[in-house]
Amino acid sequence: MEHFPKSRLNQAQIDKEDRIHTSINDFNEAKQVIAGGVNSPVRAFKSVGGTPIFIQKGQGCYLIDNDGNAYIDFVQSWGPLLFGHSDDEILQAVQESLQNGLSFGAPTRAETQLAKAIITSYDGVDKVRFVSSGTEATMSAIRLARAFSGRDDIIKFDGCYHGHSDSLLVSAGSGCATFGTPSSPGVPSDLSKHTLVARYNDIDSVQKCIEASGQVGAIIIEPIAGNMGLVPAEAEFLLSLRKLCSERGIVLIIDEVMSGFRAAFNGVQHFVPIEPDLVCFGKVVGGGMPLAVFGGRAEIMDMLSPQGAVYQAGTLSGNPIATAAGLAMLKKLAKDKGLYERLESLARRFVSGLESSAKAHNIPLQTQVRGSMFGFFFASKPVKNFDDAKSADTAMYARFHQEMLQRGVYLACSQFETGFICAPMSEAIIDEAIQAASESFAFIASERA
């Protein structure tokens, strides 16, 4: 029997000895009709152990499961919920849009308004195209980059994840790294042979790939990698990459599906003055709804059908409900000038608390913060690439995750993911999570003694 903390929202006494956590039954039922019991692999808790909790609702910075237990949520739907769950203004925008219909398969003014909001926020973007997922955005951007450059080969970086399209499931991070399969069965070798894999934060490895191929048309990178854990690219590396692409006529695709409008309002550009040829956004720009974007220089984007010959389409692209949520999100972000500074302060408070608690029990820990994003590894040296990330103690992460969950703190269910702070969090809530971490480290240390 698994026992979880009683709800912070319902303080009625619960006899933990008699209560059976219903997520076990929910998961068993799901496995009968859903492949693996989940609709995205990392949700299955395979890398951290135990049974995934089934969620009833989200409220502010909390997730509430089917038993009414509340958890401080540091996942925030894997990033998009800067204002937490069930934000009143975003919900209102969605509800108002709902009155007009769910989907039209035709243009709306809201699409144009959201496109303008994105373009004015990010240097180097002249035009955009909406899609429904980050995978669609990166897949389409690569097709467009190949057409523009006239070359078939692309370079990605070991540990960076750009969705599950065939060309990109080569040495991927995130879910693939979690299960120890850096590429997926079912990906034809004729496709994967056009994908070269370079070492993150190593410009020499990029140059070697370019020379080995002779036909590199595009390079795609997460400038703030979030799918091997949080591993930001070094400024010198990014600027060297930009220079190299410009010199060689290679299209530089910056994947900010996770970090765009998340790490900062203008993503990586807040930290490094770099302009892409193409950029991909997702998560935050949909306000929690399925929506993503790719965009960039006009001369490249104008190659898209119907203006150009590069085909891309989607029935639900620019869906009115998703664009309403995205517009409401970006409007709130534009109004709250001090938001990112507050969220970063909370992120640093949390990782500082983790560091202190781990050190008190002689547990090696490396931490990283980028705006409202944070990450940590149980490792003795800084993590700068995927090899470093893989050398971290994933068994310790799993054990820590289990103990934190028991104490009402919901962390990413994989070492190779990133944590997120949201606006409803406060110093008091962060301190509560730090206390849970301190108790967890103490319990783990006692097991080892």
Six token digits for residue 264: 């900062």
Alpha helices (runs of H) in 171-296, residue ranges in sequence order:
174-178, 189-192, 203-213, 235-248
Q: Check residue 184 and give its pLDDT.
A: 67
Pair 4, 405: CB distance under 8 Å: yes
Structure tokens at 136: 């669609």
Model-level pTM? 0.92
> What is the predicted pLDDT for the residue at 282?
97
Residues forming CATH 3.90.1150.10 domain(s) in the chain: 23-86+339-447
Q: Are 178 and 228 in contact (CB under 8 A)?
A: no
Burial of 75 (0-12, 13-18, 19+ CB in 10 A): middle
For the chain, the 3-state helix, strand and coil shares in percent, each to the nearest 5, are: 40, 15, 40
- The reported pLDDT for the residue numbered 165 is 82
Measured CA distances, 437 to 6, 29, 45, 243, 359 (Å): 18, 32, 19, 43, 12
Residue-level pLDDT at 164: 84
Please say whether the beta carbons of 439 and 447 come within 8 A.
no
Specify the domain boundaries for CATH 3.40.640.10 within the chain: 88-335
- Model pLDDT, residue 16: 36
Pairwise CA distance, residues 171 & 182, whole Å: 4
Are 168 and 174 in contact by the 8 Å Cβ rule? The answer is: no
Please, what is the angle between helix 320-335 and helix 109-119, to 10°? 40
Contact 89, 330 (CB under 8 A): no
> How long a stretch of residues is the chain?
449
- pLDDT for res 447: 86
Q: Options 3.90.1170.50, 3.40.50.300, 3.30.1330.10, 3.90.1150.10; which CATH number does 23-86+339-447 get?
A: 3.90.1150.10
Q: Which whole-number Å values give the CA distances from 226 to 16, 28, 85, 111, 358, in the listed order?
A: 36, 30, 21, 28, 22
Query: Which architecture does CATH list for 88-335?
Result: 3-Layer(aba) Sandwich (3.40)
User: Among residues 47, 100, 5, 81, which one has the least CA distance to residue 285?
Assistant: 81
Q: What is the DSSP-derived secondary structure letter of residue 199?
A: P
Q: What is the pLDDT of residue 169?
A: 72
> Residue 81's closest CA among 315, 258, 316, 280?
258
CA–CA separation, 400 vs 377, rounded Å? Answer: 11
Q: Along the 449 residues of the chain, how does pLDDT read in single tens digits?
A: 233 344 443 433 333 333 346 888 999 999 999 999 999 989 999 999 988 999 999 999 999 999 889 999 999 999 999 999 999 999 999 999 999 999 999 999 999 999 999 999 999 999 999 999 999 999 999 999 999 999 999 999 999 999 888 777 775 554 444 433 345 677 777 677 788 999 999 999 999 999 999 999 999 999 999 999 999 999 999 999 999 999 999 999 999 999 999 999 999 999 999 999 999 999 999 999 999 999 999 999 999 999 999 999 999 999 999 999 999 999 999 999 999 999 999 999 999 999 999 999 999 999 999 999 999 999 999 999 999 999 999 999 999 999 999 999 999 999 999 999 999 999 999 999 999 999 999 999 998 87
The predicted structure's pLDDT at residue 180: 32
Q: Please report where in the chains the tokens 């409007």 appear, as a residue.
A: 331
By annotation, the residues acting in catalysis are 161, 255, 283
> What are 1's two structure tokens?
């029997």
Residue 230 near residue 368, CB atoms below 8 Å: yes
Residue 404 CB: number of other CB atoms within 10 A?
22
CA 73 – CA 76 distance, rounded (Å): 6
- The encoded tokens of residue 308 equal 């150009």
Cα-based torsion angle of the residue sequence 274, 280, 283, 284 in order, rounded to the nearest 10 degrees: 40
